[in-house]
């Protein structure tokens, strides 16, 4: 088994804590499902949020999702002029048997524009 990074991102329609919770849970569910990741495979997760999001910590949604024992960290995304707003990004470190090229990175709710080269 090796450690791999699994990327994901989601766009929010508004700076709203309920929407953030729903979007983060949807994204985590898709990332884990598409990559056959179980909770015990998760090593840690880093979340970033664009500077315009103030409603909640994305990691709080992950705790609500049931990731109580996984180390989680939130950070603010770099504020680049012209970059999409209201974006949550995730980098999950996981134990997996998958080769690097078999990892499925997940971009939802319009976040596909961030990485058209790897968005599924």
Catalytic annotation, pick one of 40, 55, 89, 98: 89
Catalytic status, residue 55? no
Catalytic annotation, pick one of 4, 40, 63, 97: 63
Catalytic status, residue 63? yes
Catalytic status, residue 34? no
Catalytic annotation, pick one of 34, 98, 109, 115: 115
Catalytic status, residue 107? yes
Catalytic status, residue 74? yes
Catalytic annotation, pick one of 4, 7, 30, 112: 7
Catalytic status, residue 7? yes
Catalytic annotation, pick one of 34, 55, 74, 112: 74
Catalytic status, residue 4? no
The rounded distance, in Å, linking the Cα atoms of 16 and 20 is 6
Give the residue numbers annotated as catalytic, written as ranges: 7, 63, 74, 77, 89, 107, 115
């Amino acid at each position: 088994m090796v450690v791999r990074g699994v990327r994901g991102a989601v766009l929010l329609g508004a700076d709203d804590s309920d929407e953030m919770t729903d979007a983060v849970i949807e994204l985590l569910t898709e990332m884990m499902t598409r990559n056959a990741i179980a909770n015990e495979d998760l090593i840690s997760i880093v979340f970033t949020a664009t500077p315009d999001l103030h409603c909640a910590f994305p990691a709080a949604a992950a705790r609500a999702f049931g990731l109580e024992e996984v180390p989680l960290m939130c950070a603010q995304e770099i504020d680049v002029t012209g970059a999409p707003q209201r974006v949550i990004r995730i980098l999950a470190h996981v134990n997996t048997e998958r080769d690097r090229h078999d990892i499925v990175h997940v971009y939802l709710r319009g976040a596909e524009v961030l990485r058209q080269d790897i968005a599924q």
